[in-house]
Amino acid sequence: MQPLLAERSAGGLLPPAAEFDQILRNATPAEVIEAALGVAGREHLALVSSFGTESAALLKVMADVDPAIPVIFLDTGWLFEETLAYRDTLVATLGLRDVRSIKPDQEVLRREDQNRELWFSDPDACCRIRKVEPLQRALGPFKAWINGRKRFQGGLRAAIPVVEDDGIRLKFNPFANVAREEIQAIYTLAKLPPHPLAASGFLSVGCMPCTTRTSPDENARAGRWRGRAKTECGIHTVKMA
């Protein structure tokens, strides 16, 4: 860790996101996670994973650094059974020690989505009560969090930094500047199992009602919220106060 970062960490202070980003802009994913761990400490650092089609690569890098870093998994109530099974497979394969499955508030679901049709009438509201609000609660004890977004995914992700401000926390994007081929190389070298739905044409997997197969000539995330202007669930567009 850079001396300045070590000094601030010792004093309980997190460095400004822009300053941290400059230091880590060319770092490897493992170096980014090591720096996050060194500054925030394990008890104040979480990795948020969907256990989707590319999730195993980031989880593998994290496990090599420290498999006891808490992992937050948002179990929305609309996930594919294959995703839930994949979560269990990766936990066992990588030796993850602290995976926390977070569910929506049941009273909120009864009040706002009693008929389970909100995904169709108002997908933003559905994501809010099933993903954004649960994650805000889950991140309460943490000073920083890690996620798996990449610039090559395009859209709002095309220019993400390695480190960014997320309200009262730092958000780390260890794979921000990696290429798709590097992700595949991690899978190959570590012999990581693919998501069960990947072979069926699901290149990006979210909730069942809002995920479709993707053709070879499409962006990997084209199958998310197909036919709508929506491209993000909200956990990366809303500050996690």
Task: Indicate which residues carry an active-site annotation.
Answer: 233
Measured distance CA(105)–CA(19) in Å, rounded:
37
Start-to-end C-alpha separation, the chain: 27
Identify the H or E element spanning 32.
helix 29-40
Yes or no: say if 11 and 43 are a contact pair by the CB < 8 Å rule.
Answer: no
Report, in angstroms and rounded to the nearest whole number, the Rg of the chain calculated over CA atoms: 17
Measured distance CA(233)–CA(79) in Å, rounded:
14
Residues 198, 48, 103, 234, Cα dihedral to 10°? -90
Measured distance CA(197)–CA(179) in Å, rounded:
22
Nearest to residue 240, comparing CAs of 186, 191, 179, 168? 168
User: Who contacts 181 (Cβ-Cβ below 8 Å, separation ≥6)?
Assistant: none
Using alpha carbons only, give the angle 113, 114, 117 rounded to the nearest 5 degrees: 55
Strand 163-166 to 169-172 pairing = antiparallel
Nearest to residue 98, comparing CAs of 76, 61, 131, 72? 72
